[in-house]
Structure 1
Amino acid sequence: MLELLAVLSASAAAGFRLALPLLLIGLLYGESLWSQVPILSHMNPSFVLGVLVVWSLFEIFASKNRAGQRLLQTVQLVFSPIVGVIIGVAIARITTKPEWLVWLLGATGGVLALVLQLVQTGWIYRLRQVPVWMIFAQDALCIALVFFAFDAPTQGGLIAMLLLWLAIRSSKEWHQWYTQQSGSRKQARPRDYKQDPD
């Protein structure tokens, strides 16, 4: 059970940022853990570290303006499930022996990362500009979830499940707002009568 909570915690971090969780794992938890990371462990460590540092800085600074947010959302939407699986497999390999279970936990982490990213994308397009304080909160939460995955997996997993619940509830609210844009004229095709166009 602790393995699942640790995987959820680390994979939830991948739902906010792509490179930052991997960079933290590589810098703080050493070669023994990095050797468990699929794909990246087979590449030149200096090259991987350089790419992760550059992309982490880009994520941190580009997320603070509207154009950067749109670009990042597109990239993160595509790669968040992949990074979620990579991180989930790396965490699961530390404590779980059967390889099929490792990949099952990794796939669960990838799905969680994708769900969190999809809901964030919906809110960015609804709000058009995410407040800067919320971006800083995402960065802080991403870092905290990585630390929780190793040092307090129960708390990290509970935070990840709370985020999943908020994402599901938020997506329902977003869908309800979207369908109400048409008023009572045509609920079956809300895009035809939207008051606030995309």
Structure 2
Amino acid sequence: MIEILATLSASAAAGMRIGIPLLIIGLLQGNNFWSLPILSHIYPPVLLGFLTSWSLVELFASKKPMWQRVVQLVQLLLSPLAGAIMGLAVASATATPNWLIACVGGLLALVLQLVQVGWFYRLRGLPLWAVFLQDSLGVALVLFAFDAPWQGGLIALILLWFAVRSAKQWYDWYHKGRRLETGD
């Protein structure tokens, strides 16, 4: 059960940010940095340079509303892959099949990323405090995946609950607008 909560925590971190959690989990792996699933096929200095560069882009470019869209587009496309990699990297000691861990991790990261994109377009840009919260939460969830998987998994489940509530709120908001348009 603890491994599943750790997987959820790491995958939720990939739903917040991509480069920062992958870089942190790689550095926490120590000498096994290059044994991360899929990433082990990339030449190590190139991988380290790419993850460091993308982490800096996530940290600095996401603070400007114009660049938030670009960063979100890349994150939306890559979050399922990053969530799967993060889940597989953390859940090495579980008897659960790797394909199931990868699917659940990728889907959780995608759902969280979709909620962020939805709020971005609903609010016409994310406030700066929300962007800082994303950065902090991404780092915290990776650290929780290793040091406190119970708490990290609980935070990931709360984020999933928030995603479901957001979807329900958007559905009600959309249908309320549609009823006003048709005069019902």
TM category, shorter: over 0.9
Write the letter of the residue equivalent to 1:23. Answer: L
Distance apart, 1:103 and its partner CA:
2.3
Distance 2:17 2:42 in 1: 21
Larger Rg: 1
Superposed structure 1 runs of 4+ greater than 4 Å apart? none
Write the letter of the residue equivalent to 1:65. Answer: K
User: What's the TM-score, normalizing by structure 2?
Assistant: 0.94
Partner of 1:173: 169
Distance 2:33 2:57 in 1: 25
- Give ranges in structure 2 of 5+ residues lacking alignment: none
Say yes or no: does 1:105 pair with 2:104.
no
Partner of 1:43: 42
Write the letter of the residue equivalent to 1:81. Answer: P
Partner of 2:60: 61
Answer yes or no: is the 8 Å Cα contact 1:88–1:107 preserved in 2. Answer: no
Write the letter of the residue equivalent to 1:25. Answer: I
- Give ranges in structure 1 of 5+ residues lacking alignment: 189-198
Answer yes or no: is the 8 Å Cα contact 1:179–1:187 preserved in 2. Answer: no
Partner of 1:147: 143
Give the direction of change, closer, same or farther, for the CA distance of 1:33–1:150 in structure 2 (3 Å limit): farther
1 or 2, which has the higher helix percentage?
A: 2
Answer yes or no: is the 8 Å Cα contact 1:9–1:153 preserved in 2. Answer: yes
Write the letter of the residue equivalent to 1:20. Answer: I
Write the letter of the residue equivalent to 2:42. Answer: M
Count of aligned pairs: 184
**More contact order relative to length (CA 8 Å, sep ≥ 6):** 2
User: What's the TM-score, normalizing by structure 1?
Assistant: 0.88
Partner of 1:77: 76
Answer yes or no: is the 8 Å Cα contact 2:17–2:138 preserved in 1. Answer: yes
Percentage of pairs with the same residue: 57
| Worse-matched range after superposition: 80-89 or 22-31 | 22-31
RMSD: 1.7
Answer yes or no: is the 8 Å Cα contact 2:14–2:21 preserved in 1. Answer: yes
Q: Deviations over 1:124-170 (max 9, x none)?
A: 00101211011001100100000000001011001000000011001
Distance 2:139 2:100 in 1: 24
Answer yes or no: is the 8 Å Cα contact 1:18–1:83 preserved in 2. Answer: yes
Partner of 1:16: 16
Distance apart, 1:174 and its partner CA:
1.6
Partner of 2:120: 124
